[in-house]
């Protein structure tokens, strides 16, 4: 049994705690959160010890894995602290707000000899996993272009409004657009050039962004759009279109079936999408109704820890690359210039 120290019991912390419970091969034995009412809730819900801070958790609890479901601006100091305590680490995305910060986190984990995985969860999302498998098979030839979309209402569920503060969150680019930038890089490699434009929100940072990418290593071009400035009544939307030489693959979170393949020859079909049979309880809130990719992500990490393998689907270096792409997109959006990577 993997003993987990969970840090942060907001939307994502509750999501992760339900994944550990559903997996059954890991247990949250300790939790850290600065809010007394959250600690009380976690103590009752998870039957675990609760502490006001990560430092107190590390000093008092016996854990194998530290799971950081905390605001982005806290990631570096908490990863470094967990690494010094010789604990394996799962850190929510984005890895951090700067490349120097990412490098310090990677160096701390390497010095301590601990495993560090960042929660780039779309690589584990069931439909996106199937798209990756189809593309990698070469069945329909190479990808000629990819488009991706991720649209959300204003994230009002964030602790003390931190997501709406671009200084602490990185804005829509580092918090949400990163999902699609990372997945496109996972599918066809990182672009050599990006061009972006954005729309600022009331906090001064960009709340909406549109990005073009080209000179991907595996060929093809890309387009992605992201926003978390939509009305509360607007449904959270994920979408992907991968246009290959011999077929087009379409994912739309609002469609049924959500994933379709349209071959150049033959009839369209819906590929099988293996889905974890686990739903999110109403207590979580936020914009996700099923454990889906979060379950797959955490199950993968737990399996790696049990067998002594280092995670390969998401490495610290690939998580750093996702941040590098985001920073290039932000530079392009702010300057109006094409940015070379």
Q: List pLDDT tens digits, range 25-61.
A: 999 999 999 999 999 999 999 999 999 999 999 999 9
Give the torsion through C-alpha atoms of 103, 104, 105, 111, to 10 deg.
Answer: 110
Q: Is the pLDDT of residue 163 over 50?
A: yes
Phi-psi region of 292 (alpha: psi -120 to 50; beta: other; left: phi over 0): left
Average pLDDT, the chain: 92
Q: Is the pLDDT of residue 150 over 80?
A: yes
How would you classify the pairing of strands 193-200 and 339-340? antiparallel
Q: Between vectors from CA 174 to CA 168 and to CA 179, what angle results, nearest 5°?
A: 145
Q: Is the pLDDT of residue 287 over 80?
A: no
CA distance 226 to 224: 7
User: What's the pTM value of the predicted model, to 2 decimals?
Assistant: 0.94
Q: In DSSP terms, which residues pair with 230 in a beta bridge?
A: 153
- The mean pLDDT value for 214-221 works out to 94
- Burial of residue 135 (CB within 10 Å: 0-12, 13-18, 19+) is buried
Of 94, 90, 325, 134, the C-alpha closest to 244 is 134
Secondary structure of residue 239 in the 3-state scheme = strand
Alpha carbon distances (Å) from 143 to 30, 201, 249, 291, 313: 45, 34, 10, 29, 20
Any idea what DSSP says for residue 157?
T
Q: pLDDT over 90 for what percent of the chain?
A: 83
Strand-by-strand arrangement of the 237-244 sheet: 259-263, 247-252, 237-244, 143-153, 221-230, 206-214, 193-200, 339-340
Secondary structure of residue 233 in the 3-state scheme = coil
- The mean pLDDT value for 230-257 works out to 95
- The mean pLDDT value for 206-228 works out to 94
pLDDT for res 282: 42
How would you classify the pairing of strands 143-153 and 237-244? antiparallel
């Amino acid at each position: 049994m993997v003993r987990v120290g969970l840090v942060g019991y907001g939307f994502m912390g509750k999501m992760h705690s339900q994944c550990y419970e559903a997996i059954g091969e890991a247990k949250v034995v300790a939790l850290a959160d600065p809010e007394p009412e959250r600690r009380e809730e976690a103590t009752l819900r998870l039957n675990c010890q609760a502490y006001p801070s990560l430092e107190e958790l590390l000093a008092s609890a016996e854990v194998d894995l530290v799971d950081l479901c905390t605001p982005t601006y806290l990631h570096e100091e908490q990863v470094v602290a967990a690494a010094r305590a010789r604990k394996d680490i799962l850190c929510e995305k984005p890895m951090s707000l700067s490349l120097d910060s990412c490098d310090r986190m990677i160096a701390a984990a390497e010095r301590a000899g601990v495993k560090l995985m960042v929660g780039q969860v779309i690589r584990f999302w069931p439909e996106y996993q199937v798209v990756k498998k189809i593309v990698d098979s070469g069945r329909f030839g190479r990808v000629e272009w990819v488009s991706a979309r991720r649209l959300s209402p204003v994230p009002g569920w964030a602790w003390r409004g931190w997501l709406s503060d671009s200084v602490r969150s990185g804005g829509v680019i580092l918090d949400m657009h990163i999902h699609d930038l990372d997945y496109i890089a996972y599918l066809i490699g990182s672009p050599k050039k990006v061009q972006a434009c954005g729309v600022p929100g009331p906090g001064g940072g960009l709340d909406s962004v549109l990005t073009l990418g080209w000179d991907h290593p595996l060929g093809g071009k890309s387009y992605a759009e992201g926003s978390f400035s939509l009305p509360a009544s607007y449904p959270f939307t994920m979408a992907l279109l991968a246009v290959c030489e011999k077929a087009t693959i379409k994912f739309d979170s609002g469609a049924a079936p959500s994933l379709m393949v349209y071959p150049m020859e033959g009839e369209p079909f819906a590929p099988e999408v293996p889905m974890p049979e686990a739903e999110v309880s109403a207590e979580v809130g936020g914009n996700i109704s099923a454990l889906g990719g979060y379950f797959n992500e955490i199950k993968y990490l737990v399996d790696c820890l049990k067998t002594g393998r280092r995670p390969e689907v998401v490495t610290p270096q690939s998580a750093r690359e996702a941040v590098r792409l985001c920073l290039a997109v932000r530079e392009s959006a702010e300057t109006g210039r094409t940015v070379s990577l």
